[in-house]
Amino acid sequence: MGMGCAQAAQATHLAEMIFRRKTKAVMGSDIVCLLRNRRVGRWAALLVAASVIGAGVAWGGTVVAPVKNVWAALISDGLHDPANPDISLLQEPGDSLSKLPQDYVGNKVNWDQALNEGYIDPRSKLQPQTRVRTLDQDTIMKNTGGTPWVRFPHRPHTAWLDCTTCHDSMFKEGPTPGLTMLAILNGQYCGKCHGTVAFPLSECNRCHSVIPK
């Protein structure tokens, strides 16, 4: 571990600022500090630890479905007005999302799997004359400063998005000038969607997935 509790708290704060959520590694050191400081009972800390592990990643890096996800109720999600009498007309997110393939980040649904396995069947176009275009091709990006290379897969993107969403306003069909991790963390390029409508930027290994040969 090697990190003091004060440093861990600072790291937690930084990580929250950057990713708007806690990263797993930082959460781990939090738990150690909780245990050390005995601010909470040992059992409570163990429960937190168990829930982090339960919501986590299987050994060997395979993503597993968490045991049980919980979604905030509409009245307490900070997005809806609890005083609005019509709130009772809306479906609770947990009612629908719990029936889809689960993930442990974002809104806790693996949308790629939900689409591929037929759980959902969204309309692919509004106008009959629209041409639906998909592409099953990966681009490997190697300017990753010693971290694993980035594999950008077109297939799961073009299942939801048209080419013009990204080309050429956001990405060139070749090296895109200005594409760096800092720009992504600032909400540009991949960061326009990842962390907003797709899995968050804290999941480094889902993009940095190719070990250089």
Q: Distance between CA 42 and CA 76 in Å, rounded? A: 29
Q: Distance between CA 102 and CA 65 in Å, rounded? A: 5
β-strand partners of 102? 109
Shortest spacing between CB 23 and ligand HEC, in angstroms? 7
Residue 97 binds ligand HEC (CB under 6 A) = no
Among 51, 69, 180, 188, binds ligand HEC (CB under 6 A): 180
Q: Given the rule CB under 6 A, which of 33-41, 73-81, 82-90, 144-152 is the region that contacts ligand HEC?
A: 144-152
Residue 104 binds ligand HEC (CB under 6 A) = no
Helix orientation angle between 24-37 and 5-19, rounded to the nearest 10 degrees? 150
Residue 166 binds ligand HEC (CB under 6 A) = yes
Residue 114 binds ligand HEC (CB under 6 A) = no
Q: Given the rule CB under 6 A, which of 38-46, 91-99, 122-130, 184-192 is the region that contacts ligand HEC?
A: 184-192
β-strand partners of 140? 151
Q: Distance between CA 149 and CA 209 in Å, rounded? A: 6
Contact indicator for 200, 21 with CB cutoff of 8 Å: yes
Contact indicator for 101, 110 with CB cutoff of 8 Å: yes
Among 13, 20, 68, 133, binds ligand HEC (CB under 6 A): 133
Handedness of CA 165, 166, 170, 173 (dihedral sign): negative
Complex with ligand HEC: residue 71 or 160, whichever CB lies closer = 160
Residue 14 binds ligand HEC (CB under 6 A) = no
Residue 100 binds ligand HEC (CB under 6 A) = no
- Interface with ligand HEC: number of residues (CB under 6 A): 52
Q: Distance between CA 154 and CA 150 in Å, rounded? A: 13
Q: Which of 24, 4, 5 is nearest to 15 (CA)?
A: 24
Complex with ligand HEC: residue 8 or 201, whichever CB lies closer = 201
57: helix, strand or coil: strand
Shortest spacing between CB 99 and ligand HEC, in angstroms? 17
Q: Which residues bind ligand HEC (CB under 6 A)?
A: 111-112, 133-135, 139, 141-145, 147, 150, 152-154, 156-158, 160-161, 163, 165-167, 170-176, 179-182, 184, 189-190, 192-194, 197-199, 201-204, 206-208
